[in-house]
Structure 1
Amino acid sequence: MAEIFDDASDSDPLAECERRLKYAFRDRGLLRRCLTHSSIAPTRLESNERLEFLGDAILGAVVCEMLFQRFPDEPEGELTRIKSVVVSRTTCAKISGDLSLHDQVLIGKGLSGFNAVPSSVMAAVFESLIAGIYLDGGYDAARVFVSGLVGPEIDRVVHSSHGKNYKSLLQQHTQKLLGQTPVYRIVDEKGPDHSKCFLIAAVIGGEEFSAAWGPNKKDAEQRAAENAWFQIQGRSAGYAPDASAEPPIDRD
């Protein structure tokens, strides 16, 4: 694995880039290619396009591994939902912006006239740098680089108010503070076999929280986790155990 970069000369733009990345390239030519857009490259093969292709695959692999390890009880569908946001071009461009790479990108005159570097270019640079670090220092170096930057993005997606995953929130909270993993108990069920509804309660360390109905086990567990999440905080449960279709209480 290549060494982590600690210092840089103000007169060396590539060294400044390495400082921001916290990674020192053995091959400076590779770093320059990571930053070179096709609009300024002598040929497309001398731009970062091929590196972007490789970096996209490595980013996906690292994020999948992170999600698989962090959320052992989540189904494939939920992991896919989180991954799709984390590896999106919007998120990749955001990370490039957070690293202040806009003044490191090498672009042609046609793009340099914009007030800001296009987000698609910023996203491509991030993916290219992942590939560059992989080729320069190996998979472990690339994994360390990616995980340090996308970890907060995973947290942002999981904790976002839109599509909040209360099972993941509850599990992270209880494992960190109590050393306990929630389990979910089926309290009741009704309906024909092909269309059952379930009443499920979250149980943490022997304490059972308010149960919630759901049209299937997955939704009922999410609602039960939401009940437990708010009850732990001393707030009222959103889903009443005697109302399967009732909307949650407005807690805001």
Structure 2
Amino acid sequence: MDKDWINAVQSIISYEFKNTTLLIQALSHSSAVDLREDSNERLEFLGDAVLGFIICNETFDRFPEYEEGEMTKIKSAVVSRRVCAEVADELELGRILRVGKGMHSFTLPTSVTGAAYEAVIGAIYLDGGLDPAKEFIRSTMGDRIADAAASSHQENYKSVLQQVGQKMEGNTPNYVVLDEQGPDHAKCFEICVELGGHRFAAKWGPSKKQAEQLAALEALKELEIAEEKEDGSVVINKMLDETQGE
């Protein structure tokens, strides 16, 4: 393989390989090689696992208040073929990927470019270990973990409020059941949340869980951290990010 090509690729991914054969294999589609084992498929398999582990680890460390379901949503959003293809396009991997004569780099499907990104992760991991693989993922994924977390906030206001409480007040919210009505099979609950010595407006819900979510949203709105739009959508304001950095 041409040395200039190798140097150019290493410059793009900001990593210098000790074993450049791994780099060549990572960017070799099965249509471009005689033997399937020389393609990037095995490295893609490994890279997918490394990517998943690192994203899970980052999510676990950055969001200690998140429950398993919330962390799973973030992982699913970030470790997806669509996102991998987006990153591959940003790195222009499709332009440098080795493909067969019947394929053209400017019409490659996202499944091919996304696989190439994962294969590069696998190659870096084999060549240099977990730390450089982690650095590559962090630098290329950018704010996608934070974006996925922000999206999950829209669905779990209790988690947002707990995070705010820990950052701003040094304590966690307390949910108080004020009233309940209806038969056992169809009870409704009135719940309010207390935080930092302040009791926020109560909300009714068809279950304790939903009432707590609505009460948490009400508190976030009073704190001007959440804003409810006319169409019913909720936006978490930047104040949350600012409290995270304190």
Unpaired runs of at least 5, structure 2: 236-246
Partner of 1:102: 94
1:125 is aligned to 2:125: no
5 Å matches for 1:138-157?
138-150=129-141, 152-157=143-148
5 Å matches for 1:182-201?
182-188=172-178, 190=180, 197-201=188-192
Query: Cα deviations across residues 12-49 of structure 1 (Å, max 9, x unaligned)?
Result: 23223222322221111111111111110121100100
Distance 1:145 1:115, change over 3 A: closer
C-alpha distance in 1 between matches for 2:141 and 2:187 = 39
Q: TM-score, normalised by structure 2?
A: 0.78
Query: Cα deviations across residues 84-130 of structure 1 (Å, max 9, x unaligned)?
Result: 11111111111111222221211112221x64321001110111111
Distance 1:80 1:235, change over 3 A: closer
Please tell me whether the aligned partners of residues 227 and 237 of structure 1 are also in contact (alpha carbons under 8 angstroms).
Answer: no
C-alpha distance in 2 between matches for 1:161 and 1:119 = 25
Partner of 1:20: 12
SS in 1 for 2:85: helix
Partner of 1:54: 46
Pick the aligned partner of 1:37 from 29, 35, 40: 29
Would you say how many aligned residue pairs link Structure 1 and Structure 2?
Answer: 232
Query: Cα deviations across residues 213-239 of structure 1 (Å, max 9, x unaligned)?
Result: 34444433433332233322287779x
Residue range with higher mean Cα deviation, 24-33 or 208-217 = 208-217
User: Which of the pair is proportionally richer in helix?
Assistant: 2
Query: Cα deviations across residues 38-70 of structure 1 (Å, max 9, x unaligned)?
Result: 110121100100001111111111111122222
Partner of 2:244: none
Q: TM-score, normalised by structure 1?
A: 0.76
RMSD (Å), alpha carbons: 3.3
Partner of 1:231: 222
Unpaired runs of at least 5, structure 1: 1-10, 239-246
SS in 2 for 1:81: helix
Distance 1:94 1:249, change over 3 A: closer
Identity across the alignment (%): 43
| Equivalent residue letter for 1:40 | A
Partner of 2:80: 88
Distance 1:123 1:100, change over 3 A: same
Residue range with higher mean Cα deviation, 54-63 or 192-201 = 192-201
Partner of 2:202: 211
Residue range with higher mean Cα deviation, 73-82 or 116-125 = 73-82
